[in-house]
Structure 1
Amino acid sequence: MNRSIFGELYNKAFRSGNPLFLFIGINIVVFIAINIFSLGEFLSGGQGFGLKWILKHLSVPASYVELPFKFWTILTYMFVQKDFFHILFNMLWLYWLGQIFMDFLNKKQFIFTYLSGGISGALLYLLAYNLIPVFMSNASNSILLGSSASVMAIVVATATLVPDYTIRLMLFGNVKLKYLALAYFFLDIISMSGANPGGSIAHIGGAIMGFVFIKQLQNGNDFSKLFEKKSKLKVVKNTNTKATKNDFTDQAAIDSILDKISKSGYESLSKAEKEELFKASKK
């Protein structure tokens, strides 16, 4: 039975074709591998030097001098967590908001938002630790790891796409995504003076990328298509095509749909209403 459960989880993460489950799966596999290595090193009487070496070569160094020799870390760091609660909360937020994201947008856009959010977070972290005096003194012994910047990009992108979408939070009740994202963002700004300023800075970088991506998408610029191969087919204009009258989304209808979401949740929408909301998000 256990084999069946693990097989089902494996298929969902690595064979379903859903990037949300794939990225959650990669994060969990890396987390388990790191902690198994850590346990083995501890039981063998090691001092943890092996684990430190692994984390150092998977995490983004704050010093720009080291980065050219560890250029791959700008991608690997966003899948690496050592602490249980670190990965737990990151994966919960990614799962909850990622599902909403995938209801409205496609796989390629999800992949782009996650990766570009992580890269943006890493770049802002590097800039802060090499340009801001209060952080520069710690640049030589600081590293950045975790999927938080990527998750923040997904959270803010989803909140920007459907700001009035409502979710239920323990102790707080129903909360609209726009307020949730704003609270999350300002907490990170305040936390820059705390114990983990590098993580907060990376979150802000991810948030900015998520916001910019959706705003550009709504303006007709889909950044996720930057790496698509351009078709060599020649497009022939059809002179018989007639312009439709309904080129613009009825704002009253959209307001009604958003109101329905706030009262009954997204699942209460019909397929036609979901399609209408998706079309409106791209305008």
Structure 2
Amino acid sequence: MFQSQPIADRIGRFIREKSALSRLIVINIAVWLVINLVGVIAYLFQTADHPLEELWLFRIQQWFAVPAGIDQWFLKPWTTITYMFLHIDFWHLFFNMLWFYWFGKIFLQFLSNRKMIEVYLIGGIAGAFTFMLAFNFFPAFSASLGHAMALGASASVLAIVVATAVMVPDYIISLLFIGPVKIKYIALITIGLDILMLKSNNAGGHFAHLGGALAGLLYILASRSGKFSFSRWLGTFKIPAFFRRSRVKKVYSSPKPMTDEEYNSRKAQNQKRIDSILDKIAQSGYKSLTEEEKEFLFKFSNK
């Protein structure tokens, strides 16, 4: 009788993959654990006159969550990055990481670890600035401009969700109680709900989500056009070893340089073939690809 692998073994194997997905999830969980373990210690030593836990959580958000006020942001611009790894509430972390895992696994079937890191960071940055711009532009938020803050990986995760949905819109996943659903519908419903929730108490978070979603869309469209490459733009940025798999070094002889005409012709041929493979995936699923097509897609995605 078939027995599923114990969840502890599956988690261990996932962590040992050393993919961008597993590393980003580990970082988010580790940050949450440290914050809350220190919070437990602060709680145990607090008194009625010295609410240490409340003070600790306030300071963490004050220094690492992104503020709505642009004048405050200029004093701590690092929050543009740190906020996307910061969670205080367990369920906020849980659902963000669950969405990230589901769509991140699909994302990595077609694109590289580096591109996942790029989308995660660009989505988070776009979410931060969308949040700030909205709170400084719309009069409805003027009263809370001085103290509103955004935190969490939601914008980054929505960037991954939308990027994946744009890349393979007809990819089907099975949802509990619903059944098979194309991921493009999941992305559209999520964006629609974020728009409807802009009048809620968490309007800032929903603006950040929309900023991340837009970044994910633009990333894939720009990558497809070939006119702008985020990888080339961020070429001087080296991925930390924490995110990289160890590779065997290979030595290659220097080939004859291609002319501009040869380069453009080969690039157009490769893009045409990639589009054909993605169409095949959309119609029949990833399993319908031949081994040669899978290898070509893998090599192309790691460029």
TM superposition score normalised by structure 1:
0.84
> Is the contact made by 1:37 and 1:51 (CA closer than 8 Å) also made in structure 2?
no
> Residue 282 of structure 2 aligns to which amino acid in structure 1?
L
Equivalent of 1:124, from 130, 133, 137? Answer: 130
1:18-29 map, 5 Å: 18-29=19-30
* Shift in Å, 1:255: 4.6
Query: Which of the numbers 199, 202, 206 marks the counterpart of 1:196?
Result: 202
**Deviation for aligned residue 1:89:** 0.7
Alpha-carbon offset, residue 160 of structure 1: 0.4
Amino-acid identity (%): 39
Residue 257 of structure 2: aligned partner: 236
What is the match of residue 282 of structure 2?
258
Q: Which residue of 2 aligns with 1:225?
A: 232
For the structure 1 residues 280 and 173, does the alpha-carbon distance in structure 2 shift closer, same or farther, using more than 3 Å as the test? farther
Kindly tell me: are residues 207 and 252 of structure 1, through their superposed partners in 2, closer, same or farther at Cα, counting changes over 3 Å? closer
Q: 1:141 deviation in Å?
A: 1.3
Match of 1:207 in 2: 213
Q: Which amino acid aligns with 1:225?
A: R
CA contact (8 A) 1:257 1:273 kept: no
CA distance in 1 between partners of 2:14 and 2:183 (Å): 27
In the TM superposition, structure 1's runs of 4+ consecutive aligned residues that sit over 6 Å from their partners are: 241-244, 250-253, 276-281
Q: Would you say the 8 A contact 1:153–1:210 is kept in 2?
A: yes
Is the 1:61–1:143 Cα contact (8 Å) retained in structure 2?
yes
Structure 1's unaligned 5+ residue stretches are: none
| Contact 2:168/2:281, CA 8 A, preserved across alignment | no
AA in 2 matched with 1:227: L
> In 1, Cα distance between the equivalents of 2:277 and 2:116?
27
Is the contact between residue 165 and residue 176 of structure 1 (CA under 8 Å) also seen in structure 2? yes
CA distance in 1, matches of 2:256, 2:125: 36
Distance, in Å, in 2 between the alignment partners of 1:116 and 1:200 is 17
User: How many equivalent pairs are there?
Assistant: 267
Q: Which amino acid aligns with 1:54?
A: I
Structure 2 unaligned residues grouped into runs of 5+: 1-7, 238-253
Of 157, 160, 170, the residue aligned with 1:164 is 170
SS across alignment from 1:55: helix
The alignment's C-alpha RMSD in Å is 3.2
Shift of 1:16: 4.6
Match 2:179 to one of 170, 173, 185: 173
**What's the CA shift for 1:236?**
2.8
Please give the residue correspondences for 1:263-278 in structure 2 after superposition, counting only pairs within 5 Å.
266-267=286-287, 269-274=289-294
| C-alpha displacement of 1:278 | 7.1
Matching of residues 1-283 of structure 1 within 5 Å? 9=12, 13=15, 16-45=17-46, 46-47=50-51, 48-220=54-226, 221-229=228-236, 236-237=257-258, 247=269, 248-249=272-273, 255-261=279-285, 266-267=286-287, 269-274=289-294
How far the C-alpha of 1:26 sits from its partner, in A, is 0.4
SS in 2 for 1:66: helix
Name the SS for the 1:167 alignment partner.
strand
What residue identity is the alignment partner of 1:260? Answer: S
Deviation at 1:257, TM superposition (A): 3.7
In 1, distance between residues paired with 2:295 and 2:172?
A: 18
Residues 274, 297 of structure 2: 8 Å contact kept: no
Q: Give distance in 2, aligned partners of 1:196 and 1:36.
A: 26
* Paired residues of 2:163 and 2:220 also in contact (CA < 8 A): yes
